A and B are shown apart, each in its own frame.
Chain A
Amino acid sequence: MKILVAVKRVIDYNVKVRVKADKTDVDLSNVKMAMNPFCEIAVEEAVRLKEKGIADEIVVVSIGSKACQEQIRTALALGADRGIQIETQESPDSLSVAKLLAKVVEEEQPGLVILGKQAIDSDNNQTGQMLAALLDRPQATFASEVVVDGDKVKVTREIDGGLQTIELDLPAVITTDLRLNEPRYASLPNIMKAKKKPLDVKTAEELGVVVKSGITLLGVEPPAERQAGIKVSSVAELVDKLKNEAKVVS
């Protein structure tokens, strides 16, 4: 089975973003970028399925400017076999990404598409679901366990009340939750080898998708600042403050 994994280049998760002074957007100049943590988990899961003999090829796709080839190389170093970069302007919207991925899926015919459940920049949590809808394929979102059995896959999902298990017929789309696995680190020899792995570049036009958005970003503002609080020295003082000053406990 072929597995397709979509990865996104985003700001490193440890970086605290700042809003630009003119409040048009967040300031991404000179900040550290990395692979979206949920995408790393998706790559890891695909590699594990290959190690189990379930997958025979892993194709990794990223959409954006040339810079995202860095994240494709990272995925190749982690064990993916080849990469595809789809050249577009920076950060197209989820629907455009889903349409581009749908074209790649039609070409590649993977048995499984694995994506992260959300990107930590836009926090949308949409692409996997939209892709599944466009392909009319079943989906398992927020996966914390994936068991492939023949032409079916059993997925445990993290839902609000606990866990839910569903079974899908392949081909299917899965989005990863944090607890699915612990991604490995790429070793130096694997990073060197990854440089030789094939990486195709396509454009949105070649795939016949018009990247546009029905959504316009009007502005960005920093979140409301919290007033600096005080340190109390004892439990008694804390209880007194909560009862008499904040009045949140009676």
Chain B
Amino acid sequence: MSILVIAEHDNQVLKPVTLTTVAAATQVGGDVDVLVIGSGCQGVAEQAANIAGVSRVRVADHADYTHQLAENTSKLVVSVAQGYTHIFAPATTTGKNMLPRVAALLDVNQLSDISAVVSADTFKRSIYAGNAVATVQSCDAVKVATVRGTAFDAVAAEGGSATIEAVGEAIASQRSRFVGEELAVSDRPELTAASIVVSGGRGMGNGDNFNILYALADKLGAAVGASRAAVDAGFVPNDMQVGQTGKMVAPDLYIAVGISGAIQHLAGMKDSKVIVAINKDEDAPIFQVADYGLVADLFDVIPELEAAL
């Protein structure tokens, strides 16, 4: 068994979701290598070399890989794929964008968003918005899979001593170009990694009212999420969306405020350890999954809750 894990990073910092992907790879067993694709990403390679359980870090460092466009990075992965039985990437937008291309170029299927490793060729994954868990077996020569970060416990970021080597030729992305990006800036913890998440839905009424959630979140050291309704109504940006089509979170505490609890939202948060629902509609489906429910007007109780903590 020899597994290649594709690192998630922004050319400066290795993202924690890489550690959970390595955890999934470790469960398969065998040598785990990490591939860092980027530009000026030597620092990321060094961080990757410190991850416990990693044998080798392979680095493709070239200006052509600055924005990790799928067209050229997928070809690069295929060029270094020789000899690996498994290729894993985190199920982030970067991983989801690139890895299916890798699978198609290798003429194999891809397993998306795996949540458990049963054996080297058998995995579990959620289907139908998390309403069923499928056990799937792959007989493809190379198992290509994206890994659900919240389903695995991260391996230690320190304690490893992997070798670092440069790999791959530079492959230019000719027919696809990066134009620009607009990243949301926040001092709060990252949504998918936070131990507490406070989320607001349509019941928040407008974007300004999210300020009371931000105040509560800051008191708790929590990240702030949202339902699709809140995003579509323009209250908050889309990268805060929790659900089937947004982010998957599994914090210790999830506080759903003014969220009814549609199937698509539950898909993104129902693996949270403790769920609290605050909603004035006592029949809201969210109460069926909430450990603690409070039927009340959020505008009365959120400031009160913040003060009580």
Contacts and interface: CB of A to CB of B under 8 A. Distances in A.
A188 interface: no
A99 to B, nearest CB: 9
Interface in A2-49: 11, 13-14, 16-17, 19, 26
A232 B96 contact: no
Interface string B217-240: 000100000001001100001110
B131 interface: yes
Given A133-B105, A220-B132, A123 B175 contact: no
Interface string A134-156: 10011111101000000000100
B112 interface: yes
B163 interface: no
A178 B139 CA distance: 34
Interface stretch (B31-39, B48-56, B164-172, B290-298): B290-298
A190 interface: no
A194 interface: no
Contact of B104 (A13, A98, A122): A98
A159 interface: yes
Contacts of A223: 126, 130-133, 270
B208 to A, nearest CB: 20
Contacts of A144: 238
Contact of A238 (B105, B108, B292): B292
Contacts of B228: 178
Contacts of A142: 93, 97
B238 A123 contact: no
B13 interface: no
Contacts of A164: 67, 178, 180-182
Interface in B8-41: none
Given A122-B127, A162-B183, A139 B71 contact: yes
Contacts of A160: 92-94, 239, 247
B239 A218 contact: no
B43 to A, nearest CB: 19
Contacts of A129: 70, 96-101, 104
A130 B104 contact: yes
A167 B181 contact: no
A138 B288 CA distance: 44
A245 B130 CA distance: 28
Contacts of A219: 134-135
A220 B111 CA distance: 15
A178 B292 contact: no
Given A161-B183, A229-B292, A222 B132 contact: yes
A204 B252 CA distance: 48
Interface stretch (B58-66, B79-87, B152-160, B271-279): B271-279
A74 interface: no
B264 A13 contact: yes
A162 B181 contact: yes
Contacts of B273: 246, 248
Contact of B109 (A95, A121, A125, A159): A95
Nearest to B278: A238
B176 A159 contact: no
Contacts of A163: 181-183, 238
B274 A242 contact: yes
A162 B237 contact: yes
A125 B94 CA distance: 12
Nearest to B122: A218
Contacts of B110: 94-95, 124, 126, 130
Contacts of A222: 131-133
A121 B137 contact: no
Pick the most buried of B97, B179, B252: most chain A CB atoms within 10 A of its CB: B97
Nearest to B238: A158
A123 B128 contact: yes
A28 B247 CA distance: 27
Contacts of B276: 238, 242
Given A17-B132, A163-B183, A215-B140, 11 more contacts: A26-B131, A94-B100, A123-B244, A160-B94, A161-B239, A214-B109, A214-B139, A215-B139, A218-B137, A221-B133, A231-B293
Interface of B: 67, 69-71, 74, 92-94, 96-105, 107-113, 122, 125-140, 173-184, 196, 220, 228, 231-232, 237-239, 244-245, 247, 252-253, 263-264, 270, 273-276, 282, 287-296, 301, 304-305, 308-309
15 contacts: A95-B107, A124-B110, A129-B70, A129-B101, A130-B103, A139-B101, A158-B93, A160-B92, A162-B183, A162-B239, A177-B245, A220-B127, A220-B135, A226-B275, A249-B253
Interface of A: 11, 13-14, 16-17, 19, 26, 93-95, 98, 117-118, 120-134, 137-142, 144, 154, 157-169, 172, 177-179, 213-223, 226-236, 238-239, 241-242, 246, 248-249
Which 8 pairs show the lowest CB-CB distances between chains A and B? A129-B100, A130-B104, A138-B176, A133-B104, A214-B140, A126-B100, A133-B101, A229-B291
